[in-house]
Each structure stands twice: as structure tokens, then as C-alpha cells.
Amino acid sequence: MRRRTKSAPGPLPQRDGVDPVRVRLPVDGSWPTVAAYLAHRLPQAAAGRLAEMLRDGEIIGADGPVEPGTPFVPGTSVWFHRDLEPEVPVPFAIEVVHRDEHLVVVDKPHFLATTPRGRHVAQTALARLRRDLDLPALSPAHRLDRLTAGLVMFVARPEVRGAYQTLFRDRLVRKEYEAVARFDEALELPRTVRSRIVKERGVIAAREEEGEANSESRIELLAARGGLGRYRLLPLTGRTHQLRLHMSALGIPILGDPVYPQVLPEPAPDDFRAPLQLLAASLEFTDPLTGREVRLRSRRTLAAWSDPRGWAAGG
């Protein structure tokens, strides 16, 4: 059974690091039973599966398991675990680079989503860390694209989540990325790129359009060899795909990018040969609770730079 309603803690514990789904019953509803409403609300679920979940006590309300005859009470909630499609395991480790009572900062590998979304649910950094570290309340302070590797911050305690998420909202975290792309000796660097980026829901690629700029990136060349450049990227804003789009707009799309400058056919789920050559290399911030200056750096490298022959063979 699939459900898009946002997950929330409730009477059911997590399963494999994944929260149960919460469904709120509408306040103006007139269904005779909870089961009748769920059959209406989740038409994609097989009737037999819904009946099985009710019979086995897999759907829970505030007062306990929901039965086939449990009456509909407007404004209440029920919880259940959705049936997950099989996921291909991402065969790379997550390295913890910092952990204290408030924070967990990890070095995320390529291909691993930060949080559950779409078909990536159990195979996400959040679910894996909740299981491996036994931290069921762990939540993200920000997100990193599935295809991008590097540093991601998680908050261990719900009561302090807002303090760390505010750091990113107010742009109080200095983020540095590294990328490998074609070297263009005619391109003048360093430079600051500003543009208006629009990302439509359900559309893979973001786009630039005329209008007031809402994104800003600093692009610097660190080194060049063999027709490739190693770049330092400093995002001053946080638009979706901002760095990837800005690099592509400069005529030097990041190696391994399946979206920019054009959307390519999606590889097989178990094809990990050509990772996007983009790395969230460092995070610097003042801890809002302790006042301590925190500077963290990824231990990962980009294969197209550290092993270009291997990259060429793999990609």
C-alpha cells in the first residue's frame, strides 16, 4: 500500500528506520467506518490488502488497532506502515565524521538519498543511520542531492532541531563543494554567477529564466590537467540543483551529470559506475547551542580527478 501523506511519529514504532504513515481523517467526513474512508482515500490499494491489514491489526488509531467496524471519527488520525517496493542496496558505507549529544554529521556516498522520497525509502541515509546508530529521533538539518556525495548534518534530538535548521535557513553555514568538469582555458575564473532558477514540481531539471536573480554561486578553478578542471564551488544561496545548473550554464557541466545540460535515460538501479563528480567538501558554522566554531571536511575524493583512467573505464 502506498501513501503520500507526510510521515509522523505515532502509536507505531519505526520499521527498519522508517516512520509509519499518518493519515488524518477529514473533519467534514461522513463515512460510516474508518475502513470505508481508507478504501475511498487509498483507491490504489488492493481491497484484499486493506482487509488483511485491518484483520492483522496493522492499522492503529489513538485507542489501538482499527477494526473493520471501527466508526469514523472526524479529525482523528490512524497510522500504518506502507508496503515498500524492493530497493537495490547502495553498496557504500556512510562515515560518521562528527557526533555529539545534539548532532551527527556524516560523509554520504554518491547514489544514497538523504531522506525517504519516491522509490528511495529504506535505502536512504536517514533510515540507515537511525538503524545503525540506534537514534530513532534522528532528523535532517538540511538535504543533499542523492547523486552528490559529502557532508550532511542530522539532528539527534527533536527539541533542538529548529536551532540547527535555522542555521541553513539564515545562510549561517559556510558550505564548500568540489567538482570535476571540462577545463576551458577561455573561461575567466573565479567568477560569481547569479541567475533566476525555477524548479517545477514533477520536472527533473530546473531551469534559468529572465527575472530577478534568486541564486548565487562562486566558481573557482583549483587545478587543471588532462583537459579536466577541479573546481571549488561556493553556493551563497540554496536553490535545487543550483551548482549543477550554474556549471552547465558556463559550458562546463559537471562530469557524470545525468540532467544538465540534458536529461539522459535513467541508468539501471544497480548501476553505480559513473557517479556525479560533485562533493559537499566542507561545512563551517558556529554551533547555536554551544557557541563553538565547527569546521568539518569530507574525506572523500572525486574519482574523475584522483583516478581519471578508472573513471573513464567505469563511466
Which SS3 state, helix, strand or coil, does residue 306 take?
Answer: helix
Q: pLDDT value at position 1?
A: 44
Report the distance separating Cα 230 and Cα 223, nearest Å. Answer: 5
CATH number of 95-314: 3.30.2350.10
Q: pLDDT value at position 254?
A: 98
269 burial level (CB within 10 Å; 0-12, 13-18, 19+): middle
Report the distance separating Cα 228 and Cα 232, nearest Å. Answer: 13
Q: pLDDT value at position 6?
A: 45
Cis omega (within 30 of 0) for bond into 235: no
Sequence-distant (≥ 6) Cβ neighbours of residue 55 within 8 angstroms = 68
Report the distance separating Cα 40 and Cα 37, nearest Å. Answer: 5
Report the distance separating Cα 61 and Cα 265, nearest Å. Answer: 43
Residue type, 194: R
Which CATH architecture describes the domain 21-80? Answer: Roll (3.10)
Sequence-distant (≥ 6) Cβ neighbours of residue 67 within 8 angstroms = 54
Which residues of the chain register pLDDT less than 70?
A: 1-10, 44-47, 310-315
Q: pLDDT value at position 189?
A: 97
The predicted-structure confidence for 196-254, as pLDDT tens digits, reads as follows 999 998 899 999 999 999 999 999 999 999 999 999 999 999 899 999 999 999 999 99
User: What residue ranges do the domains of the chain occupy?
Assistant: 21-80, 95-314
Cis omega (within 30 of 0) for bond into 261: yes
Contact 81, 10 (CB under 8 A): no
Sequence-distant (≥ 6) Cβ neighbours of residue 157 within 8 angstroms = 101, 102, 137
Residue 285, C-alpha cell as written in the block: 558554522
